[in-house]
């Protein structure tokens, strides 16, 4: 094409636009508006791509289980009653004092890259434990001390040593970072029978909500607070109760005021049941095999609260009872904290709420969310020697003995007897008030509901 032809073409186009400028400008405006909507809401999107948001800052070694669960699975799994069952193993053998465990891998296991899974491919980080591989399908754990709950530590997804290569169904195909932290990853299933998953990580729930609003993601998983999510007919919410966590009031048992057991009982009786949440009357979920339904019950019982307060008054001075009682919590539990403080004030106590951005080192009473171990062994939470994780400084020789014995015994019935007694003593001493099992929220655009259901069912 020569210069004269190009010049003629430009003149024709220019004249056409001049004569039809209204239509041309209107078309540009409509196209710009449609482009904005497409960026924001992704009306035209691949039917096999799902963009998900998670809250938190992560590196390769500490990705959340909800993410790594797409890539791999664990040697064992827990059923809905908390019993540990084989998953990638056919089973395991344990010696009489629970210091030696042998796990046997299933036949024909393969990594997502089609290579055979060998026992020596697996890497585990369990303190005070030596790990050996007698053959290509056997993993042996030798412990310095008896620890019958060891299988429960093997629920986490496994990866080929030094990699993020798992058993599947997904493979990590792309990873993006900002300095040392991951900002985005892409997961893909080999045969594309499942949607491609693009995962973004946000520093907090407020920023994540903005990401959903801007169309960066189509779903947010694991939100605890829905206030930041604007009401929208295009958006839906799935809620499930998370029995792996429990919202609890922890009492500092060495405090001059809260060292009194009767006062702790009064506070526990007076603490309100939280509307819309599944009540927890115990450190274990109600379906858990070690749950003791006959243990002491608290919450929303003013009559028993008053009786317990009267018992406390016999050993506490008037000055102590008139002193401030500070309940500390984080912003996401502020509304619950207000309900608790309001209830405590009805007992005549000078209760006040303090909201802090993180978990404080020192507190009188702390409203927080705790993780519940897959096994009923809660040694690290309540044993007197666990000074870093026993935040209440609770010290009970009877509870210590129950917890010590529970991790040495192998048979379920004998362990259950120990944990039943542990619950009975713990709840009588009331170093904590167990409130509810929190809900986890999945916020998503309705149009991606079918894709979301596919991956959530894995």
CATH code of the domain made up of 245-437 = 3.10.105.10
Query: What kind of fold does domain 49-62+168-241+440-456 have according to CATH?
Result: D-Maltodextrin-Binding Protein; domain 2 (3.40.190)
CB 152 within 8 A of CB 133: no
Query: What strands lie across the sheet with 365-371, from one edge to the other?
Result: 278-279, 432-437, 245-251, 365-371, 324-329, 350-355
Ranges of H-type helices in 329-429: 334-345, 379-382, 397-406, 412-429
Q: What is the pLDDT of residue 37?
A: 52
Nearest-angstrom CA–CA distance, 45 and 447: 10
CB 69 within 8 A of CB 167: no
Superfamily of the domain at 73-154: Dipeptide-binding Protein; Domain 1 (3.90.76.10)
Domains of the chain, by residue range, sit at 3-41, 49-62+168-241+440-456, 73-154, 245-437
Tens digit of each residue's pLDDT, the chain (458 residues): 555 666 666 666 676 667 666 666 666 665 665 555 544 444 444 468 999 999 999 999 889 999 999 999 999 999 989 999 999 999 999 999 999 999 999 999 999 999 999 999 999 999 999 999 999 999 999 999 999 999 999 999 999 999 999 998 999 999 999 989 999 999 999 887 899 999 999 999 999 999 999 999 999 998 888 887 878 888 999 999 999 999 999 999 999 999 999 999 999 999 999 999 999 999 999 999 999 999 999 999 999 999 999 999 999 999 999 999 999 999 889 999 999 999 999 999 999 999 998 888 889 999 999 999 999 999 999 999 999 999 999 999 999 999 999 999 999 999 999 999 999 999 999 999 999 999 989 999 999 999 999 888 87
What is the number of helices (H) and of strands (E) in the chain? 12, 19
Nearest-angstrom CA–CA distance, 140 and 361: 39
**CA-to-CA dists, residue 157 to 50, 70, 93, 138, 374, angstroms:** 22, 9, 21, 18, 14
Query: What strands lie across the sheet with 49-55, from one edge to the other?
Result: 170-178, 181-189, 196-202, 49-55, 219-223, 439-445, 235-241
Nearest-angstrom CA–CA distance, 442 and 166: 25
CB 51 within 8 A of CB 198: yes
CB 202 within 8 A of CB 54: yes
Using DSSP, state whether 66 is helix, strand or coil.
Answer: helix
DSSP string, 253-307: TTSTTTT-HHHHHHHHHHSPPPTTSEE--SSS-TTSTT--TTS---SS-HHHHHH
Q: Could you tell me which of 271, 287, 396 has the C-alpha nearest to residue 336? A: 271
Surface-to-core class of residue 408, CB atoms within 10 Å of its CB (0-12 exposed, 13-18 middle, 19+ buried): middle
CB 243 within 8 A of CB 285: yes
């Amino acid at each position: 094409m020569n210069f004269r032809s190009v010049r003629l073409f430009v003149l024709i186009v220019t004249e056409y636009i001049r004569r039809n400028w209204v239509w041309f400008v209107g078309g540009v405006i409509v196209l710009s508006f449609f482009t904005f909507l497409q960026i924001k809401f992704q009306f035209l999107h691949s039917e096999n791509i799902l963009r998900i948001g998670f809250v938190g800052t992560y590196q390769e070694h500490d990705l959340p289980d909800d993410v790594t669960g797409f890539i791999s699975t664990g040697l064992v799994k827990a059923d809905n009653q908390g019993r540990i069952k084989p998953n990638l193993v056919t089973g395991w053998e344990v010696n009489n004092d629970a210091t030696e465990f042998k796990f046997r891998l299933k036949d024909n296991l393969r990594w997502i890259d089609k290579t055979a899974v060998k026992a020596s491919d697996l890497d585990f980080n369990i303190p005070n434990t030596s790990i050996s591989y007698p053959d290509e399908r056997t993993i042996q754990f030798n412990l310095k001390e008896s620890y019958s709950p060891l299988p429960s530590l093997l629920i986490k997804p496994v990866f080929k040593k030094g990699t993020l290569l798992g058993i599947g169904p997904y493979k990590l195909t792309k990873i993006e970072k900002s300095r040392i932290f991951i900002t985005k990853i892409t997961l893909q299933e080999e045969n594309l029978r499942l949607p491609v998953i693009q995962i973004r990580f946000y520093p907090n729930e407020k920023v994540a909500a903005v990401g959903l609003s801007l169309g960066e993601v189509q779903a947010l998983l694991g939100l605890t607070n829905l206030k930041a999510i604007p009401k929208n007919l295009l958006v839906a919410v799935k809620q499930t109760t998370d029995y792996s966590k429990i919202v609890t009031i922890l009492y500092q048992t060495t405090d001059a005021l809260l060292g009194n057991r009767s006062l702790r009982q009064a506070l526990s009786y007076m603490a309100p049941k939280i509307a819309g949440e599944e009540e927890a009357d115990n450190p274990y979920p109600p379906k858990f095999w070690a749950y003791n339904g006959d243990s002491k019950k608290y919450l929303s019982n003013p009559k028993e609260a008053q009786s317990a307060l009267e018992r406390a008054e016999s050993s506490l001075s008037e000055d102590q009872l008139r002193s401030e009682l500070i309940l500390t919590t984080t912003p996401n539990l502020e509304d619950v904290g207000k309900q608790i403080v309001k209830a405590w004030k009805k007992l005549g106590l000078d209760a006040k709420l303090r909201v802090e951005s993180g978990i404080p080192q020192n507190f009188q009473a702390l409203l927080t969310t705790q993780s519940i171990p897959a096994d009923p062994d809660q040694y690290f939470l309540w044993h007197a020697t666990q000074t870093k994780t026993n935040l209440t400084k609770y010290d009970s020789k009877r509870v210590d003995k129950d917890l010590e014995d529970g991790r040495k015994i192998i048979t379920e019935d004998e362990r259950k007897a120990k944990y039943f007694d542990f619950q009975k003593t713990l709840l009588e001493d009331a170093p904590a008030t167990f409130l509810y099992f929190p809900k986890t929220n999945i916020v998503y655009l309705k149009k991606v509901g079918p894709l979301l259901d596919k991956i959530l069912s894995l």
